[in-house]
A and B are shown apart, each in its own frame.
Chain A
Amino acid sequence: MLNIHELESKWLNYKIKSYIPHAVIIISILIIFIIVLTILEYSSYIDSNNQVPEQEKTSVIVLEKKVEPTTKELNTTQDKNLSLATISLEDIDKVIEQMYLKQEHLAQSNKLKEKKIVLSPSLEFMNSMHDNALPYYEEDKKAQVKTQKSTNTDQANKQATSKNEAPEKTKIKETVQVDSIEIKRQNTREDIQSVIKRFKKSNNPILSLFVAKKYYEIGEYNMSYNYSLITNELNNNIEASWIIFTKSLVKLNKKEMAVKTLQQYVEHSQSNQAKLLLDEITSGKFK
């Protein structure tokens, strides 16, 4: 007689043994899949950590410490590890996002701090006042006319009183006056030459500006143009130098160039004096 129970148990063992390779293959595939997934996630996390600047490194180290135990747990239990790994990676992503947001916010606030609000004065009211008032150089002319008038009247008085004197004396007086004018001119030229010598030694833009102004006053606009140009090259923030430069250009019949340079300077500096001069040049008041 056949022992049925024994046969059944043998059959069961056989069946179980036949399923073992399938089960082993499935489990090994699962393990490989989990390992690959964790390696990929970990590498992407390391890459993101490397992009974080040095300032944030301290906080990243703390995060790494938090991550390490989760990876150890992954090695011990498979099913639990999978869920824990996914949760921890999601958390890491969130934390990294938050860190980036904080970083951007900090950068923006730093930029705002660096870019201070700069208040600038508004001198538009000067334009309306300028239209009503006489320009200052005309006032100088008036003063010159007045002095000339006064000297003429003085001369006339003197002539009236000294009618009895010989005409030779008056001639001598005139020559003396002419000489005095010449002496003044020579003095300014000597001054200019001495300042030029000092400028050549020190390359100081203040000296070259002085020279440019003096040449402009004498009426040597070529030289004043040259020295104001030198001044601008040395320091392009001196308003007076740009004004002398453009005035000289106008005097040298280069009005368009003067207007262009002055417009660029006004855009750059918002200088009110330059704006006034620009208005004068464009309106034809300054010739």
Chain B
Amino acid sequence: MKIILALFIAFSLYADIKQNMFNLYQNKKYVDVCDIGFNNFGRFKNDEEFVSLYAFACLNSDYLDRLSIPIAILKFSAEARANSAYFAVILMQKKLLYHALIDGYNLSSLDLPSTDYVLSKVFDLYAKLGEHESRAFYLFEDDTDKKLTYKLYLTKDDKLSKIVIEEFYDTITLKRHVYW
């Protein structure tokens, strides 16, 4: 009887965390979802729905390095594999852009797939520039909407440089993304 009760409580807790995460995700509280997922990852790592939700929340809250484990884990369903490839491309583009901005690595010869994520758009626009002298900041115009512009630059702390992408719509700042 005690075992059944313990199992029931454990199951309800399991469902509670997942539902809570889903509700928070629906309310666009991506940072909270990413943190909850990160703290409970060990318990739910075999649940692809949970891992996918956690990964999308981290993606939307710009914690891209947290995608590395979901990329490795998501593989058992077609949907999971598609999402894994999607995350992998974004993570790789972030790393390459970081390398290019800091060390002057030439991206023009690369022909990578793209995604709808803001970093991918900026990556493609940056790669189109080809070989060039490094600038203090880059301003790119969106291919589909000319009022939508992206400003790309590096911020340098004592130890670490960070990529900053600012989205503008007609001079109004929409969102600021920071990656490192």
Q: For chain A, residues 235 to 274, give those with C-beta under 8 angstroms from any C-beta of chain B.
A: 235, 237
Q: Which of B26, B53, B89, B169 contacts A119 (CB 8 A)?
A: B89
Q: Which residue of A lies closest to B111 (CB)?
A: A113
Q: Which of the 9-residue segments B15-23, B99-107, B133-141, B158-166 touches chain A?
A: B15-23
| Nearest CB of chain A from residue B162's CB, rounded to whole Å | 25
Return chain A residues, CB-CB under 8 Å to B147. 235
Tally of contact residues, B, Cβ under 8 A: 32
Contact of B56 with A by CB under 8 A: yes
Whether B85 pairs with A119 at a CB distance below 8 angstroms is: yes
Contact of B116 with A by CB under 8 A: yes
Q: For chain A, residues 60 to 96, give those with C-beta under 8 angstroms from any C-beta of chain B.
A: none
Whether A128 pairs with B23 at a CB distance below 8 angstroms is: no
- Counting chain B CB atoms within 10 Å of each CB, the highest count among A119, A122, A237 belongs to A119
Contact of A217 with B by CB under 8 A: no
Contact of A124 with B by CB under 8 A: yes
Q: For chain A, residues 123 to 180, give those with C-beta under 8 angstroms from any C-beta of chain B.
A: 123-126, 128-130, 132-136, 139
Whole-angstrom distance between the alpha carbons of A237 and B147 in the complex?
Answer: 12
Whether B79 pairs with A124 at a CB distance below 8 angstroms is: yes
Whether B115 pairs with A120 at a CB distance below 8 angstroms is: yes
Q: Which residue of A lies closest to B55 (CB)?
A: A121
| Nearest CB of chain B from residue A127's CB, rounded to whole Å | 10
Return chain A residues, CB-CB under 8 Å to B49. 125, 128-129
Interface string of A95-132 (1 = CB under 8 A from B): 00000000000000000010011111111111011101
Q: Which residue of B lies closest to A272 (CB)?
A: B56
Whole-angstrom distance between the alpha carbons of A119 and B19 in the complex?
Answer: 28
Q: Contacts A129-B18, A136-B26; is A118 near B114 (CB within 8 Å)?
A: yes
Q: Contacts A125-B52, A206-B169; is A136 near B27 (CB within 8 Å)?
A: yes
Whole-angstrom distance between the alpha carbons of A61 and B177 in the complex?
Answer: 53
Q: Contacts A132-B19, A206-B172; is A125 near B48 (CB within 8 Å)?
A: yes
Contact of B113 with A by CB under 8 A: yes
Contact of B144 with A by CB under 8 A: yes
| Nearest CB of chain B from residue A272's CB, rounded to whole Å | 10
Tally of contact residues, A, Cβ under 8 A: 27
Whole-angstrom distance between the alpha carbons of A113 and B113 in the complex?
Answer: 10
Whether B113 pairs with A121 at a CB distance below 8 angstroms is: no
Whether B19 pairs with A133 at a CB distance below 8 angstroms is: yes
| Nearest CB of chain A from residue B82's CB, rounded to whole Å | 5
Q: Contacts A133-B19, A237-B145; is A121 near B114 (CB within 8 Å)?
A: no
Contact of A204 with B by CB under 8 A: yes
Sampled A-B contacts (29; CB under 8 Å): A116-B113, A116-B124, A118-B113, A118-B115, A118-B116, A119-B113, A119-B115, A120-B116, A121-B56, A121-B82, A121-B115, A121-B116, A122-B78, A122-B79, A122-B82, A122-B83, A122-B86, A129-B22, A129-B53, A130-B22, A132-B19, A134-B23, A135-B26, A136-B26, A202-B170, A204-B169, A206-B174, A235-B147, A237-B144
Question: Which residues of B line the A interface, CB within 8 A?
Answer: 15, 18-19, 22-23, 26-27, 48-49, 52-53, 56, 78-79, 82-83, 85-86, 89, 111, 113-116, 124, 144-145, 147, 169-170, 172, 174
Question: Which residues of A line the B interface, CB within 8 A?
Answer: 113, 116-126, 128-130, 132-136, 139, 202, 204-206, 235, 237
Query: 7 shortest A-B CB distances, which residue pairs?
Result: A117-B113, A136-B26, A122-B79, A133-B22, A122-B82, A133-B19, A125-B49
A121-B115, A122-B78, A237-B145 known; 14 new pairs, CB 8 Å cut-off, are: A116-B111, A119-B115, A122-B82, A122-B83, A129-B18, A130-B22, A133-B19, A133-B26, A136-B26, A139-B23, A205-B169, A206-B169, A206-B172, A237-B144
